[in-house]
Structure 1
Amino acid sequence: MIPLYHDFTGETVLVIGGGSVGTRKASRFADEARVVVVSPAFDDLLIDLAADDGDAAGPGVDLVRAAPDAEAVRDWIERLAPVLVVAATDDGAVNAAAEAAALDAGVLVNRADRSTAERSADRDARSAVVPATVEDDPVSVAVSTGGASPALAKALRERVETEIEGAGAMAELSGDLRTELKDRGVPAETRREAIRRVVRSEGVWKALQKGRSYGRNEADSVIEEVLTR
C-alpha cells in the first residue's frame, strides 16, 4: 500500500458505530469534515464531542440514533453522499454490510475490525486505512503498520511527536524564505541549497523555540552565508 493524503474540507464522513472505535474515528475527521455517526448507542466521549459542535452544517459531528442494517446503510450513503464510510461496529456482519454498500456506491471505505494482513487477498482499491498521525500544523506525519500492530503504531507515533516538535514553525519559516528568494531572482539551485541549510541548522531550530523573529534572524544569517560564498 502507498500512503496518500486526502483533503476532507467540505466533505462528509459516515461512521457506522458509536462505540470507542467509532469515537476515535469520528474525532479524527471532525476538524475538517462533517461527520455523521449512525449507531443505536453512543460512547460518552462521542456525545461530548458532538455537543461541542457549533454549526451542524459544517465540520463537526452529528449523531443519529439508529441500528443500521444493510439496506439502512445503503440509504444513508445515498442520502449523505459521503466521501468515506467507516465501518466501526462490534458486529462483523454489520461491518461487512457497510463495506459492501460503500463499495457498491463507489465510496471509499475503512473497515476498522480487519487488518491489512487479513484483507490483503481481497482488498478493493477503495478500501482505505486510517493511520496514526502526528501533527504540528502545517506538518503532519502518518504512521501505519498495515493493521498488524496498532500498539506499535501508537508507540511510534509517540516517538515521532518528540522528534517533530517545532516542525510547523520551521515549515512556515522555510516556506516564506523560499518564496522570498524566488521573488529576489535567486537561482533555483542556490535557493534549494539555502533552504536545505536552514532546515538542517540546529541554530535555527533552537532560535525558533524562542520565537519566530529569533528563528528568522538566525535563518537570514545562514542564507547570507550561502549567497555570499
Structure 2
Amino acid sequence: MLPLLHDLADESVLVFGGGRVGARRARTFAVESDVVVVSPAFADRSFGDARRVRAEPSPDDVAAWVERVAPVLVVAATDDTAVNAAVERAAAERGLLYNRADRAGERAPGHVAVPSIVRDGEVVVGLSTGVPALTKVLRQRVEREVQGAGELAVLTAELRRYLRDQYPPEQRREALRAVVRSERVWKALGDGVANPRQIVDEIASDALGESP
C-alpha cells in the first residue's frame, strides 16, 4: 500500500456501525468532514462531532442511505458481514471510496485503509503497521517528536513566502533548512518563554549572511 492524503474538508462521510471501531472512524473524519453514523445502538465512546442516527439498516437498505447522505467515503464497521458487504457493494457501484473494517490484507480498488493519525496543527502523520500494539507505541513516539511542528509549519510557510521574492532558490533552501534543523527553534516552540518567530528570523538571517 502507498499512503495518500485526501482533503475531506466540507465533504460527507457515512459510517455504518456504532461500536468502538465506528466511533474511532467517526472521530477521525469528523475533524474536517460532516460525518453521519448509522447504528441501532452506540458504544459509550466519543464520536466527535459526528451526527448519530439510530437505525438498523438491512443489506437492502444500505444503498438508500448512501443515496440520501451522498458521501465521498463510506465506512462499514458493523458486526453484520452481510451489511458490510452491502456497504462495499453500494460504494463500489457509485465509484466511492470505502473502508471495510472487518477486512484486512488484500483489498479491492476503492477500498482505503484508515491509519492511526497524529496531528499537530497542519502537520499530519499517518501510521499503519497491521499490528495494533506496535501502532500504539509508534504513535506515542511520533506524538512526542512532532510536538510544536504545527507552529513551525506556520512560521516556515510565512518565511518561505517572504524569501520567495527576495532571494535566489539556493539561499532560500539554506535558510529554511537552517531553521527547521535548529535546536534553538524546536526548544522555543511551545515553551511559553522564548519567542519562536524571533528565533526563526535570527536563524534565517544567519543563514543568509545578514547577521549584524
Residue 66 (structure 2) aligns with: 77
Choose from 181, 189, 193 the match for 1:208. Answer: 189
SS in 2 for 1:113: coil
Residues 1:141 and 2:122 aligned together: no
Aligned-partner Cα distance in 1 for 2:24–2:9: 19
What is the TM-score when the length of structure 2 is the normalising length?
0.92
Choose from 53, 64, 74 the match for 1:64. Answer: 53
Aligned-partner Cα distance in 1 for 2:190–2:9: 31
What is the TM-score when the length of structure 1 is the normalising length?
0.86
Residue 152 (structure 1) aligns with: 134
Contact 1:133 1:140 in 2 (8 A): yes
Residue 201 (structure 2) aligns with: 220
Residue 97 (structure 2) aligns with: 108
SS in 2 for 1:114: coil
Residues 1:161 and 2:143 aligned together: yes
Residue 42 (structure 2) aligns with: 42
Structure 1 stretches (4+) deviating beyond 4 angstroms?
none
Contact 2:36 2:50 in 1 (8 A): yes
Aligned-partner Cα distance in 2 for 1:32–1:45: 19
Residue 158 (structure 2) aligns with: 176
The alignment's C-alpha RMSD in Å is 1.7
Aligned-partner Cα distance in 1 for 2:193–2:83: 51
Residue 132 (structure 1) aligns with: 116
Aligned-partner Cα distance in 1 for 2:193–2:59: 53
Going by fraction, where is helix more abundant, 1 or 2? 1
Deviation at 1:210, TM superposition (A): 3.5
Aligned-partner Cα distance in 2 for 1:105–1:66: 23
What is the identity, as a one-letter code, of the residue corresponding to 1:98?
A: V
Aligned-partner Cα distance in 2 for 1:28–1:187: 41
Deviation at 1:138, TM superposition (A): 1.0
Give the % identical residues: 53
Q: Which shifted more, 21-30 or 211-220?
A: 211-220
Aligned length: 210
Aligned-partner Cα distance in 2 for 1:155–1:94: 33
Contact 1:169 1:212 in 2 (8 A): no
SS in 2 for 1:96: helix
**Cα distance, 1:135–1:212 mapped onto 2, change above 3 Å:** farther
Aligned-partner Cα distance in 2 for 1:141–1:45: 23
Deviation at 1:189, TM superposition (A): 1.1
Unaligned runs of 5+ in 2: none
